[in-house]
Amino acid sequence: MRTKLLLLLLALSVAGFAQVQLPDTPAGRQMGAWLQAFDGGDRAAFLAFLEKNYPSRAKNVDRDMDFRKMTGGFDLRKVEDASTPTKVVALVQERDSDQFARMTVEVAAVDPYAITQMGIRAIPRPAEFPLSKFSQGELVTALKAKLQKDSAAGNFSGDVLLASRGKPVFEEAYGLADREKRTPNTLNTRFRIGSMNKMFTAVAVLQLVQQGKVNLGDPLGKYLPDYPNKDVASKVTVQHLLTHTGGTGDFFGPEFDAHRLELKTFDDYVKLYGNRPLRFEPGSKWEYSNYGFLLLGLIVEKASGQSYYDYVRDHIYKVAGMTSTGSEPEDTHVANLSTGYTGMGVKDGGMRPNGDTLPYRGTSAGGGYSTVDDLLRFADALQANKLLNAQYTEMLTTGKPGTPDNSYAFGFEDRKVNGVRCFGHGGGAPGMNGMLQVCPATGYVVAVLSNLDPPAATRVADFMLNRLPQ
């Protein structure tokens, strides 16, 4: 009976959000009209609203429609006290997830009170809107209902695993691995995992630290003495790279797009990006850096004497029993590998294969492939100290000072979700999204992989994490 009640409350919760009223002010009326137009999902109607009420934003209508597709729209949860006649601040929640955001709308002081500024910024779930903890059985029942709904609506395609103490309590596949051939996803389907590769790279580096072959305080130049930019080589340490505090920047962008298929080796990336200056003094701030993790792959190679791919295969995948994980080039046939589908830039809710966005090969920064079962094996091996000893496992997964809220460790995020500490990493790019989270105190592991755009897998993982039993 309690399970049915919880599911009923879950299904009806959106209706309850509408009871919150915006103030009858110019700003409040404009926020309400924007929400109505945006939530409706009709591009023509939303564009007409923008052209009349927020003309400077009309040129970004397609970007906003992509955002609408990603969030499902927003429900009003609370109007904050900072509101005035020309400014309203409110808390909203994505309709398709548990994610909250703070929304601000400012309008001109004279009729017709056009919108002059608007922002929507994701925030942690406020304490005044707690989520109920479910029992394991209740969570599985609610999860099944959510996945059936999301997959039927085209919002999820992929594999989902929830394990307790190393044993799956829920494991199912949804959607199609290949839409043209009508091949369904199965629990053997491999999905591209994007930045989740960073976990394997960080484990590899810490293994070499544990063996005395790498020192966290060493500068990059000790391992790459010929690195083009000597300032980077002398100032950026291994620990800076592991925590995204080195100022080494990203490699995605127009330059990557122009040379995407030419970047076949780690050295190719260094030839293209190695002369760039530091973006900031190492250690002075945090900025996510794919290029920094690319450099860590080269350090693994120099310190181990193996290629990065051979090293992680021999010292991580084989040790953990991961038989379906790798980073083969895109021109190599990989059995059971799903095709990614992206809606980015596609009008009217359409989807297209993501092949024209993929790098030649996954790297130490991301881009490999795996299965949910392999991710569970990786989590189990890590917790059993098969990959690192207990001291280095804790060092690997514990958040470090100087990162946002001390929540980034070495290639792992370390965070509390609804009061439960979990660590892991996600990955996302056009046509791919994945998440692994390990919650050691409760014994739960969550693994979700999808061949759709973010946040398809992230939403499902968060749904589970937010409701895990204590």
The reported pLDDT for the residue numbered 10 is: 44
The position carrying tokens 């300032």 is 231
The reported pLDDT for the residue numbered 419 is: 86
Contact assessment for residue 199 and residue 377, using Cβ atoms and an 8 Å cutoff: no
Alpha helix stretches (DSSP H) within 169-263: 197-210, 220-223, 230-235, 238-242, 254-259
Measured from the Cβ of residue 138, the count of other Cβ atoms closer than 10 Å reads 19
Q: pLDDT higher for 22 or 350?
A: 22
Banded pLDDT at 14 (limits 50, 70, 90): very low
Q: What is the CA radius of gyration of the chain?
A: 23
Kindly list the structural domains of the chain, giving each domain's residue range(s) and its CATH number in brackets, ordered by start: 16-123 (3.10.450.280), 192-465 (3.40.710.10)
Contact assessment for residue 467 and residue 139, using Cβ atoms and an 8 Å cutoff: yes
The reported pLDDT for the residue numbered 345 is: 72
- What is the average per-residue pLDDT within 28-50? 96
The reported pLDDT for the residue numbered 350 is: 85
pLDDT tens digits for range 369-421: 999 999 999 999 999 999 999 999 999 999 999 999 999 999 999 999 888 99
The reported pLDDT for the residue numbered 255 is: 93
Burial of 299 (0-12, 13-18, 19+ CB in 10 A): buried
Contact assessment for residue 242 and residue 199, using Cβ atoms and an 8 Å cutoff: no
pLDDT of residue 12 exceeding 80 = no
| Chain centroid to CA 215 | 29
pTM of the model as a whole: 0.89
pLDDT tens digits for range 99-123: 999 999 999 999 999 999 999 999 9
Check residue 51 and report its DSSP letter.
H
Contact assessment for residue 214 and residue 204, using Cβ atoms and an 8 Å cutoff: no
Please report the sign of the dihedral spanned by the C-alpha atoms of residue 3, residue 8, residue 13, residue 14.
Answer: positive
Distances (CA, A) of 294 to 138, 194, 239, 406: 42, 13, 14, 23
pLDDT of residue 18 exceeding 70 = no
The reported pLDDT for the residue numbered 422 is: 97
pLDDT tens digits for range 76-93: 999 998 778 999 999 999
pLDDT tens digits for range 325-360: 999 999 999 999 999 999 887 777 789 999 999 999
pLDDT tens digits for range 149-196: 999 999 999 999 999 999 999 999 999 999 999 999 999 999 999 999
Question: Rounded CA gap, 460 and 467, in Å?
Answer: 11
Closest residue by Cα to residue 236 from 253, 248, 228: 248
